[in-house]
Structure 1
Amino acid sequence: MTIFLRLVALGTLWFALMIWADLIGYHHGGAGRFDLLDADMKAARGTLAVLYPVAAVGLWLRGAWGPVIWGVAAIMEIGLQQAMPGTFEIDPLKVALVSLIALIYLLLRLWTLLTKPPVNEAR
């Protein structure tokens, strides 16, 4: 589980770096600079630019809050892609990848809960 969470943390950090590269104008020829975005995109991209690095740290450190923050960011991004297809670019590969990672995480979490040894209660 630690290896899986650290791999997800690295991917999440990559997503964060790509968002920041867009916001500062380094990526896509400066078309995604923060000052050029409309209000909806400023709110969405700004929130994701904060959530993804925080989630990456939480996943790397195996904090209980890491998967929660990652889940919130992933659900937010997928929801935005579905709700605002004209404004927020739809990346079907990213949606599929995030969904697959979430499914793998849930299956691993379920497996660790089911294979947990019983607790001896010596009284």
Structure 2
Amino acid sequence: MPLQFAKAAPLAPTVLLWYLRSLAFFYFVNGLMHWARIIGVLGPGFETMPAHVQVATVYFALLQVVAAVGLWCGAAWGVAAWLFSAVAELVMHIGFADLFGSAWLIVAFHSMTILVYVGLAWWTGTPENTGEILRMPEE
């Protein structure tokens, strides 16, 4: 029996998956840090935080851990949860800077990760990576 090699897979889907997994690691650690704030391990006690900060902390503690699991699996719901979390944090720090502060490092991070994701998703969907060429139907 002759030796057969596997067909070379396109690079873009693999790069996108590992990008999502690196985001998953970041979001899992960040979600655990929010949980640590809730139980009082990090920073001031949860009870002493203003109500709007408590709500945001619980929201991100739940959503970022869920997003991390979905991103690690490469699931569409993980990407959706990640985008909900990232956009919510962007709105928090840009639209409500008087309440939550203007954390420009966080704004830059989320903006760049979303732009990189859009670029990688576009690259993954190109014909050389999917093997499909879309054409208009003939009339």
TM-score in terms of structure 2 length: 0.76
Corresponding position: 1:14 with 2:29: yes
Matching residue of 1:69: 81
Cα distance in 2 for residues equivalent to 1:88 and 1:21: 19
Would you say how many aligned residue pairs link Structure 1 and Structure 2?
Answer: 116
1:114 paired with 2:129, answer no
**What letter matches 1:93 in structure 2?**
L
Q: Indicate whether 1:34 and 2:49 are aligned.
A: no
- Following TM superposition, the consecutive aligned residue runs of length 4 or more in structure 1 with deviations greater than 3 angstroms are none
Q: Residue 3 of structure 1 is aligned with which of 18, 21, 28?
A: 18
The percent identity for this pair of structures is: 32
Deviates more, 1:15-24 or 1:61-70: 15-24
- The structural deviation recorded for 1:16 is 0.7
Gaps in structure 2 of 5+ consecutive residues: 1-15, 134-139
Shift of 1:25: 2.1
What's the CA shift for 1:18?
1.9
- Residue equivalent to 2:8: none
Which has the greater radius of gyration? Answer: 2
Could you give the per-residue CA deviations for residues 17-54 of structure 1, whole angstroms, max 9, x where no partner exists? 222222222223xx2x3212222222221111100000
SS at match of 1:27: coil
Partner of 2:69: 57
Q: Does 1:23 align with 2:38?
A: yes
SS at match of 1:86: helix
Q: Distance in 2 between matches of 1:88 and 1:18?
A: 17
Q: Cα RMSD over matched residues?
A: 1.6
Contiguous gaps of at least 5 residues in structure 1 = none
Q: Secondary structure at the match of 1:26?
A: coil
1: distance between equivalents of 2:96 and 2:41? 24
Residue type of the alignment partner of 1:48: F
Aligned to 1:89: 101
Work out whether 1:99 is the aligned partner of 2:111. Answer: yes
Query: 1:15 corresponds to which letter in structure 2?
Result: N
